[in-house]
Amino acid sequence: MADMVFFTDNYQDRSTNEGYQFEFFCGRCGNGYTSPFQHSVTGFGGRLLQMGGDLLGGEVGNKASNLGFDAQWLRSGVRGSTRDKALAKAVEQMKPNFTQCHRCGQWVCNQICWNAERGLCTTCAPRLDQEIAGMQAAAQVDQLRGKIAAQDWTKGVGYQEQATGLCHSCHQESGGGKFCRNCGTPQAAAPTALKKYCTNCGNQLGDAKFCSECGWPAG
């Protein structure tokens, strides 16, 4: 049956015991389009006969019920050919909703995915107004991103206080400061101690108040 449904090979049978109905899908956007419901004479009539026979009772009711069962059985037996005819009719009914792109060969819906001005599907020939609108929106986002990035958004934010890290000494959260908040150990951000030298002879003083070489005060 796929060769008969020439405008799309993507459809679903929505038929019931009451009749036939099919939903056809666009090959590009996937939107579904449902054909009009086709009532089944054998299915509906057989069900009525069966219900009427049950209500009448007796010999007449039995005959009516048997006729109903026969109609239901007949419908099941010929459902293949009957369904094919119903599908063929649905194809003719729904065919105006689809067009085949002669560039890519894809059958697409006329409502969304067909560019009538170009005579191609919107994959092969996108609509210029939609493409321009999309590019404008993308450009606006890029420009806004650049303007926002150029601003200083860290002013007043205590990012050093909010930063977290493990102290290499006590292995607890240091708090992100220059010294560990738990043990006081200098962290990577802590300044290194400056060496002090005698201003008279240049000897290294350390923590001495007077130079050990010349006795000059450390100042």
| Position 139 in a domain | no
For 190-216, the pLDDT digits (tens) are 555 667 778 888 888 777 888 888 888
Q: Please give the full DSSP string across 106-141, using - where no structure is assigned.
A: -EEETTTSEETTTTEETTTS--HHHHHHHHHHHHHH
| Position 36 in a domain | yes
| Position 119 in a domain | yes
Domain tally, the chain = 1
Q: What is the pLDDT of residue 67?
A: 44
How much is the pTM?
0.50
| Position 214 in a domain | no
| Position 144 in a domain | no
For 183-196, the pLDDT digits (tens) are 888 876 555 566 77
- Spell out, as residue ranges, where the chain has pLDDT lower than 50: 1-3, 44-46, 48-58, 60-61, 63-78, 161
Domain that holds residue 76: 11-128
Q: What is the pLDDT of residue 174?
A: 80
- Among 160, 159, 162, 180, which Cα is nearest to 171's? 180
